[in-house]
C-alpha cells in the first residue's frame, strides 16, 4: 500500500534569502541531523546571470533498523539523492529526493518547496509532499514501513527546530539580513549576441535546469503537492496547533489530504476544519473512511435541513416546561456543559407529545447548539475547543423509562449522533445511576463506539456516609467549577432548567398522529425537496420538464452518494408525454431510458430511432460526476419544448473503449444519486444574470419554503453553457 504525506504550510517569519543561507549550513553534514553521515555533490549548474542554481547531491543515511533486518539488507548505509533548484529571481527553492538503495523493492519520493509568503514578502512558506511504496523487502514489508514512517516523522518534527538553530547562529555572527538577488547590469563593451545565443536566452533558464529533474519528482509534483492549489484550501501549521490542537506529523498530513479532497468534491463548500478533523478522529485518521463518513453526513444534513435548525427550530411548549435539560456554563477547560436530569423526565409524555421525529429534532438542535457554543468558547479563550460535556443525572430512573417507543427513539437518536456528530462529546458524567440502569446500558452500549464509551464516567453524589462526594477531590469538582455545580447535586448554582415531571395529557398528539409518527419510514424527509434514486444495471434516470416559458431557468443540485455517474441535459422539439414504465414493459439495456423513481412525472423515453440534431438536442455536455461530489448548475432555456435531466452510471472500462455517448446509452452496475431541481419563471428572471447570482433571490418557490435554501443551486455553480444558442447540428435560435 502506498503511504502518502502532505504537509500543512509551515511559515517562517524570515525573508527567503536569509532562510536560504541558513538552509545551506546543513551541508555537507550537520550535527543536528545525525542520520546523514556524508553527502557528495554529483552535479552542479549555475545560470550565467546567477538566477538559477541547481545542485544534485548523494547522501549516505544511517537509519536505525533492527540488527536482523540490517543483516538481510547487507548494507551499512542507505543512499539517497537530493536535487535542489533555487530560483533567485522567483525566490523559490524546489527540492526533489528519492532513494537509490533498493529502488526495485522500495520507492521513496519527496518534493519540497520554499517560497515567499503570498501576503508578506518578508516571510517564507515551506510545503512538503512524499510517497512511500514498499513492494518487496525480504519479507519485512510491514516492519520497513513502520521504520520509514517513524524516521520520516522524526525528521519532520525536527526540521523547524534545525532551521531556527541556524538562523540563531547567523544572528550570533551578526547576519540578520541578506540582500535579494538583483539582475546583473549589462557591460557597455559587451559583444553582440549571436542569433543562437538569443534563442537560448529565450528559453527560461529555470525551465532549462528543471529538465534535469527526475521523472519521479515530476510525477510527485503532479499527484502530490500542487503549487497552483487554491490558498483557501491550504492549512498553516501554526493555525492547526493554535485552533485545532497539537497533531502528529502524519495526522496533520491526513487532515490536509481530507480537506483538499472535500474542497474538490464540494466545489468550494467544504465543511470547516474542526468538522473535518472530528470525522478523521472518528475513523482513526483513515482518509478514505473519513471521506465516506463525512460525505454521507453532508448529504444527510442537506436532506434534513440540519444547517437551518438553529435559526428555524421552534421549541415546543411541552419541551420548555417539562424537558429537564439545558445548557449551563462551562467546565474547567472551557467546554460548554449540558445538564440532563433523565430520571426526572417523563419519557412517555414527551414522546407522546412531540413524537419520535420531534424528539430527534430536539436532540439535533442540542447537538448543533453544542457545536456553536464550543466554537464560541474556542474563539473567546483562543485555544482549540471542539467538544462539549454532559452531566447526566439518573436519580429517579425506573422501569417506566424503559417504555418501548422511548427506548426505540433513544436508540435511533444515538445512531444518528454516532454517524453525524462524532468526537463532539468530551465527557459524559453519569450521576446517581440506580439499579435499573444496567438494563438500559445493555441496550445502549452496543450502539456507542469504544472511543465514545471511554468518555463515560460514573459517579455517586454521596459516599455512603452522608458526605457530598460531588464536592470532594475526585468528584465533579475536578471537572466543573464549584460555583457552577447545580443545587440538585449539592452545589449552589441555580441552573434554571425545568424540573421535569409528568406531562399533562392535554399536550399529547392524537392517536392517529402518533401512529403516523411511529410508522416506519424516513420521517425527517417528509419536508425535503430532494429525491433519492438508485441506478441498477441497464437503467438510467430522467427528469422530464415540460417548458412552455421561453427564457425560464432550469436549476439542479445533486449529490453522488455511490459510484460515478454521467449527467447531461437534453431538449426535444416536440413535447413528450409523461409515461410511467412498469416492470413488464421496461425496455432492454440497449434502450435509452429506464427509470426507478415512483413519481409519474419523472418518466419519459426517447426511442432508439431518434436522431440527435433532428429529434433531440444536447443542451449541456455530459459531465462525469464522481462518488461524493456535490454538483450545482443551471440552464437558461431558449426554446419551448421538453427538457430532460439525465443521470446514468459511468463505467470507466466502458468509457475507455467507447465514446461518451455509448456510456450514456449503455449504463452499467449500480449507482445512487440524491437530487433536487427547480424551474425559475422567466418573469422573475427578467434576463438579468445578477438575479441568478443574488444571494437573496426570492423568486424560488422552494426558497420561500426553506428560507432561501435553494439559491445555492442557482448561484453556487452557474455552468458555462448557460444559454442554448446553436447545437452541434447547427439548429439556429428560432
Instruction: Say how far apart CA 436 and CA 12 lie, in whole Å.
Output: 59
- Could you give the CA distance from residue 273 to residue 275 in angstroms, rounded to a whole number? 5
Are 732 and 726 contacting, i.e. CB atoms less than 8 angstroms apart?
yes
C-alpha to C-alpha distances, 276 to 233, 265, 424, 564, nearest whole angstrom: 12, 13, 12, 23
* pLDDT given for residue 690 in this prediction: 33
Q: What is the pLDDT of residue 233?
A: 64
State whether CATH 3.30.530.20 applies to domain 3-180+210-223. Answer: yes
Backbone φ, ψ for residue 200 (5° rounding): -65, -40
Predicted pLDDT of residue 514: 75
Alpha helices in 382-528 (DSSP H): 404-420, 437-444, 450-453, 511-518
Q: Which residue has the higher pLDDT, 461 or 56?
A: 56
pLDDT at 593 over 70: no
Assigned fold of 251-304: Helicase, Ruva Protein; domain 3 (1.10.8)
Residue 81 pLDDT exceeds 90: yes
At 147, list the grid cell: 521504520
CA angle 626, 627, 629 (to 5 degrees): 70
pLDDT tens track for 665-716: 444 457 888 888 888 887 755 443 333 332 222 222 322 332 333 333 323 3
| Rounded mean pLDDT, 211-226 | 48
Cell numbers 466554537 correspond to 375
28 preceded by a cis bond (ω within 30 of 0): yes
CB contact at 8 A, 357 and 533: no
Q: 312-518: which CATH topology?
A: Phosphatidylinositol Transfer Protein Sec14p (3.40.525)
The pLDDT of residue 209 is 40
**Please, what is the Cα angle at 414 between 413 and 416, to 5 degrees?**
65
Higher pLDDT, 406 or 647: 647
* Rounded (10°) angle between helices 511-518 and 347-381: 60
Among 128-137, 147-156, 499-508, 630-639, the range scoring the smallest mean pLDDT is 147-156
Q: Is the pLDDT of residue 663 over 80?
A: no
Give the β-pairing of 425-431 and 388-393. parallel
**pLDDT above 80: residue 547:** yes
Give the pairing of strands 616-625 and 456-459: unpaired
Q: CATH 3.40.525.10 region(s) of the chain?
A: 312-518
Q: Where in the chain is the domain with CATH 2.60.120.680?
A: 531-715
CATH of 531-715, one of 3.40.50.620, 1.10.357.10, 3.30.930.10, 2.60.120.680: 2.60.120.680
478-516: pLDDT as tens digits: 889 989 999 888 888 999 999 999 999 899 988 778 777
> What tens digit of pLDDT does each residue of 382-406 get?
889 989 999 999 888 887 777 777 7
Q: Which three cell numbers stand for residue 561?
A: 452518494
The span from the CA of 60 to the CA of 81, in Å, is: 9
CATH 3.30.530.20 residue ranges of the chain are 3-180+210-223
Q: Are the C-beta atoms of 623 and 567 separated by less than 8 Å?
A: yes
- Identify the H or E element spanning 607: none
Distance separating alpha carbons of residues 39 and 17, to the nearest angstrom = 23
Alpha carbons 427 and 436: distance in angstroms, whole number: 22
> Tell me, what's the pLDDT at 689?
36
* Mean pLDDT of all residues in 615-623: 87
Pairwise CA distance, residues 346 & 320, whole Å: 13
Residue 192 has pLDDT above 50, yes or no: yes
Beta bridge partners of 565: 625, 649
Amino acid at each position: 500500500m502506498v503511504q502518502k504525506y502532505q504537509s500543512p504550510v509551515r511559515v517562517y517569519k524570515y525573508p527567503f534569502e536569509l532562510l536560504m543561507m541558513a538552509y545551506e549550513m546543513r551541508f555537507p553534514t550537520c550535527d543536528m541531523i545525525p542520520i546523514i553521515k556524508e553527502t557528495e555533490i554529483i552535479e552542479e549548474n549555475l545560470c550565467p546571470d546567477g538566477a538559477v542554481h541547481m545542485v544534485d547531491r548523494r547522501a549516505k543515511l544511517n537509519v536505525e533498523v533492527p540488527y536482523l533486518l540490517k543483516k538481510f539488507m547487507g548494507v551499512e548505509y542507505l543512499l539517497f539523492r537530493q536535487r535542489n533548484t533555487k530560483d533567485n529571481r522567483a525566490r523559490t527553492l524546489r527540492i526533489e529526493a528519492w532513494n537509490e538503495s533498493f529502488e526495485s523493492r522500495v520507492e521513496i519520493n519527496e518534493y519540497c518547496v520554499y517560497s515567499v509568503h503570498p501576503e508578506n514578502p518578508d516571510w517564507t512558506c515551506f510545503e512538503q509532499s512524499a510517497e512511500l511504496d514498499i513492494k518487496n523487502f525480504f519479507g519485512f514489508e510491514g516492519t520497513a514501513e513502520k521504520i520509514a514512517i517513524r524516521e520520516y516523522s522524526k525528521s519532520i518534527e525536527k526540521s523547524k527546530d534545525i532551521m531556527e538553530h541556524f538562523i540563531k547562529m547567523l544572528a550570533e555572527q551578526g547576519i540578520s539580513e541578506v540582500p535579494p538577488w538583483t539582475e546583473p547590469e549589462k557591460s557597455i563593451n559587451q559583444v553582440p549576441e549571436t542569433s543562437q545565443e538569443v534563442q537560448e536566452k529565450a528559453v527560461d533558464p529555470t525551465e532549462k535546469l528543471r529538465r534535469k529533474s527526475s521523472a519521479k519528482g515530476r510525477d510527485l509534483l503532479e499527484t502530490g503537492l500542487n503549487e497552483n492549489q487554491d490558498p483557501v484550501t491550504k492549512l498553516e501549521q501554526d493555525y492547526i496547533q493554535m485552533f485545532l490542537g497539537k497533531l502528529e506529523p502524519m495526522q496533520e498530513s491526513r487532515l490536509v489530504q481530507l480537506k483538499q479532497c472535500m474542497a474538490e468534491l464540494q466545489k468550494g463548500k467544504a465543511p470547516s476544519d474542526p468538522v473535518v478533523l472530528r470525522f478523521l478522529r472518528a475513523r482513526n485518521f483513515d482518509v478514505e473512511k473519513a471521506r465516506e463518513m463525512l460525505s454521507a453526513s453532508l448529504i444527510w444534513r442537506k436532506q434534513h435541513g440540519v444547517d437551518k435548525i438553529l435559526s428555524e427550530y421552534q421549541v415546543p411548549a411541552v419541551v420548555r416546561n417539562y424537558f429537564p435539560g439545558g445548557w449551563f456554563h462551562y467546565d474547567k477547560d472551557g467546554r460548554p456543559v449540558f445538564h440532563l436530569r433523565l430520571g426526572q423526565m417523563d419519557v412517555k409524555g414527551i414522546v407522546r407529545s412531540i413524537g419520535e421525529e420531534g424528539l430527534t429534532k430536539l436532540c439535533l438542535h442540542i447537538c448543533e447548539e453544542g457545536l456553536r457554543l464550543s466554537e464560541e468558547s474556542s474563539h473567546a479563550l483562543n485555544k482549540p475547543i471542539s467538544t462539549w460535556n454532559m452531566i447526566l443525572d439518573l436519580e429517579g430512573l425506573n422501569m417506566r423509562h424503559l417504555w418501548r417507543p422511548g427506548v426505540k427513539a433513544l436508540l435511533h437518536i444515538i445512531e444518528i449522533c454516532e454517524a453525524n456528530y462524532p468526537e463532539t462529546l468530551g465527557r459524559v458524567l453519569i450521576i446517581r445511576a440506580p439499579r435499573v440502569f444496567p438494563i438500559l446500558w445493555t441496550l445502549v452500549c452496543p450502539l456507542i463506539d469504544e472511543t465514545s464509551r471511554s468518555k463515560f464516567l460514573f459517579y455517586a453524589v454521596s459516599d455512603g456516609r452522608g458526605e457530598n462526594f460531588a464536592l470532594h477531590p475526585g468528584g465533579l469538582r475536578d471537572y466543573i467549577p464549584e460555583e457552577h455545580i447545580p443545587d440538585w447535586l449539592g452545589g449552589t448554582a441555580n441552573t434554571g432548567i425545568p424540573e421535569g415531571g409528568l406531562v399533562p395529557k392535554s399536550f399529547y398528539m392524537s392517536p392517529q398522529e402518533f401512529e403516523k409518527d411511529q410508522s416506519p419510514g424516513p420521517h425527517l424527509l417528509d419536508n425535503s425537496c430532494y429525491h433519492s434514486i438508485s441506478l441498477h444495471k441497464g437503467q438510467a434516470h430522467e427528469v422530464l420538464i415540460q417548458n412552455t416559458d421561453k427564457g425560464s431557468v432550469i436549476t439542479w443540485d445533486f449529490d453522488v452518494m455511490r459510484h460515478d455517474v454521467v449527467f447531461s441535459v437534453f431538449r426535444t422539439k416536440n413535447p413528450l408525454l409523461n409515461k410511467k414504465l412498469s416492470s413488464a414493459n421496461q425496455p432492454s439495456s440497449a434502450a435509452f431510458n429506464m427509470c426507478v423513481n415512483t413519481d409519474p412525472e419523472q418518466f419519459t423515453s426517447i426511442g432508439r430511432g431518434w436522431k440527435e440534431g433532428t429529434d433531440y438536442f444536447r443542451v449541456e455536455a455530459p459531465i462525469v460526476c464522481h462518488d461524493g461530489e456535490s454538483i450545482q448548475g443551471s440552464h437558461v432555456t431558449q426554446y419551448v419544448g421538453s427538457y430532460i435531466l439525465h443521470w446514468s452510471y459511468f463505467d470507466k472500462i466502458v468509457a475507455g473503449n467507447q465514446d461518451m455517448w455509448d456510456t450514456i446509452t449503455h449504463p452499467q452496475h449500480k449507482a445512487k444519486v440524491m437530487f433536487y431541481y427547480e424551474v425559475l419563471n422567466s418573469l422573475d428572471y427578467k434576463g438579468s444574470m445578477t438575479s441568478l447570482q443574488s444571494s437573496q433571490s426570492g423568486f424560488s418557490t422552494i426558497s420561500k419554503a426553506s428560507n432561501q435554501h435553494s439559491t445555492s443551486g442557482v448561484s453556487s455553480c452557474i455552468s458555462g453553457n448557460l444559454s442554448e444558442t446553436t447545437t452541434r447540428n447547427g439548429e439556429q435560435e428560432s
